[in-house]
Amino acid sequence: MDFCVEPEIARNRDLVLDRISGTVNLNRACIRGARERGILNRLMPVLQGWLPEDYVRCLERMPDLSGFPIVGVGSMCRRHLHGPQGILQVIEILDPELRGTTIQLHLFGLKGFGAAELRQHPRVATVDSQAYGTKTRVEAREAGISKTKRFLAQIMTEWYLKQIEALQAPAGENRHPRRFSI
């Protein structure tokens, strides 16, 4: 439902903006199709961007999303948590744009440290990660072994236990740049 905009894919600003437009158009088509099929309640629209303000641009061009409980936020997997283009800044810039709605966010590709930092954020409902899958491919290749289901399960279990440990650790003092509200 979205066109990713990571630098490896969208190498310049024009490509980023083109892929944001493509994401908006694809979301419109998916919303229309889901409405026609009576499955709109199963759809999660997705916002896309690279600069934090790109996500606002994407949101502003979307149809009204206020009826959707969760909206996805793409391209989180290649970001730092902090900084002007970091995950916290993306959430900070989206939060005021969503004020007055109950929309929560699903962050696609969020690394474990980001999930731990954002675990109590009122706007973040869910996250996902393919980090264990990437690690499995890399480790299997480096070891010269096949990426079997058993090997994948071992890496996934180790990854899962690290996530649980991170989520149980005390919260950081500087979790959010400012107070958020829904």
Greater model confidence, 15 or 181:
15
pLDDT tens string 73-106: 998 887 889 999 999 999 999 999 999 999 999 9
- Asked if 159 and 166 touch (Cβ cutoff 8 Å), the reply is no
- Asked if 124 and 107 touch (Cβ cutoff 8 Å), the reply is yes
pLDDT cut 90: percent of the chain above it: 69
The residue among 113, 96, 91 whose CA lies nearest residue 165 is 113
Structural tokens at position 86 = 């970091």
Q: Is the pLDDT of residue 158 over 80?
A: yes
Contacts of 8 (CB under 8 A, 6+ apart): 78
pLDDT tens string 107-151: 998 877 788 888 889 999 988 888 788 889 999 999 999 999 999
pLDDT, mean of residues 40-50:
96
Mean pLDDT across the chain:
89
Greater model confidence, 133 or 56:
56
Number of C-beta neighbours around residue 170 at 10 A:
5
Contacts of 159 (CB under 8 A, 6+ apart): 112, 131, 132, 135
Q: Is the pLDDT of residue 176 over 70?
A: no
Residue 83: burial class (beta carbons within 10 Å; 0-12, 13-18, 19+): exposed
Structural tokens at position 140 = 């299997």
Domain extent listing, the chain: 13-168
**pLDDT for residue 181:** 40
Q: Strands of 70-73's sheet, edge to edge?
A: 46-47, 70-73, 104-107, 124-127
Q: Is the pLDDT of residue 28 over 50?
A: yes
**pLDDT for residue 172:** 59
Q: Is the pLDDT of residue 64 over 60?
A: yes
pLDDT tens string 165-175: 877 777 654 34
